Amino acid sequence: MQSQAQIDQLLRQKADAKEIPGVVAVAATRNETIYQGAFGKRDLSKDDAMTLDSVFWIASMTKAITAAAAMQLVEQGKLTLDQPIGNLLPDLAAPQVLEGFDASGEPILRPARSAITLRHLMTHTAGFCYDLWNGDMAKYLEKTGLPGITSCRNDALKTPLTSDPGTRWEYGINIDFVGKAVEAVSGKRLDAYLRDHMFAPLGMNDTAVKIGDDQRKRLVGMHARGEDGQLSSIPFELAQDPE
């Protein structure tokens, strides 16, 4: 087993060589934290050093958090895994499947052959996708003028399916609807539900939907690697007043 000093040396070396901008590393057992360290910079265009309390965009790791919230409500009998979720979320009551485009470029849609369930949404088998990785959906958004999901607007969820529910796996906007289901049965906005039932009980006092002033001071920047292999900071911000 590597010593703490060896782990420190390895992580510091990678940061100093600019192979990574910076890193916060933590290892723990169920009883205690056995290692933690922070090295490098929060943002390569600035002088702020990475610290243990640095704030990161956690992106799709929010999916696991939202799914856990839904499972709390399944355990309480307030949500069900295999009943049509359209009974709770009217927007999913009559899903359409995108089959392609006609000769004039208009979308070809048909009714889905089965209903969407919470289980489908939580396992990415409902038929939804991300336009980032699905060319047909990118074309559909361009044709209809719908915004992309990173706009954090409700209109971004008004997309058809790309396959019938339960027939295949595709990474997509499914968990956004799981969050809607949590709101519908709890009577709380998703941020409030997560704060009250997950973050506060677990002591996750630095996790939130919106970035507070103190968090922004510790925010870690985003970086991209250029064709020369060098990292540089890039602008990144998700909507701070999401619908």
What the block records as the tokens of 183 is 């709101």
* 166, 120 Cβ separation under 8 angstroms: yes
List the catalytic residue out of 54, 63, 140, 193. Answer: 63
The CA distance from 61 to 11, in Å, is: 23
- Torsional sign, CA 169, 172, 178, 181: negative
List the catalytic residue out of 139, 171, 188, 233. Answer: 171
- Residue closest to 114 by CA, chosen among 134, 89, 139, 92: 92
The one-letter amino acid at 100: G
The CA distance from 243 to 239, in Å, is: 9
């307030």: which residue's tokens? 78
63 carries an active-site annotation: yes
171 carries an active-site annotation: yes
* 140, 107 Cβ separation under 8 angstroms: yes
60 carries an active-site annotation: yes
Instruction: Catalogue the active-site residues.
Output: 60, 63, 171
